[in-house]
Amino acid sequence: MGKLDRDEAVNALNRIVEHELAGMVRYTQYSLMIFGHARIPIISWMQAQANEAMTHATQAGEEVTSLGAPVSLAIGELVGTHHDSVDAIMEELVMHEEAGIVLYERLLEVTENRSVALEELARQMVQAESIHVNEIRKMLRKRGDA
């Protein structure tokens, strides 16, 4: 097993903290913008996603402190647009989740064969974020789409 580059791992983890915190804010903000027949289940889903993003940010932050480094006090890119439809919101959320996959893949790259625990965390998060992307894409399908 190779030697973990602590600084690279901390940098990757801190970018994840920032991104997940921004996701928590993004899901919360968008949950306030949902109207129409499916409002209640969509809001509930978004609130659950916000809570999960907070959990992921905390998890990554704990790993940073376990490596003896300070956790970033920054936050990733926040929502800057009011959308005209739930579909437009969901499209933006797909892009947000895909960006998260890239960050977790970077963590995997930095930790692979260097830290079993961090490598496993990265793999689990890539899987979780991929599931989110697939769920949102399914939500964007119209009835009758195959």
Residue-wise pLDDT tens digits, 10-35: 999 999 999 999 999 999 999 999 99
pLDDT < 50 regions, the chain:
none
CA atoms within 13 A on the CB side of 16: 31
Residue reference for tokens 């920032």:
18
- pLDDT in the model for residue 145: 66
pTM metric for this prediction:
0.94
pLDDT in the model for residue 72: 98
Q: Of 53, 54, 73, 62, which Cα lies nearest the Cα of 118?
A: 62
pLDDT of residue 81: 78
The domains of the chain, with CATH numbers, are 6-75+84-140 (1.20.1260.10)
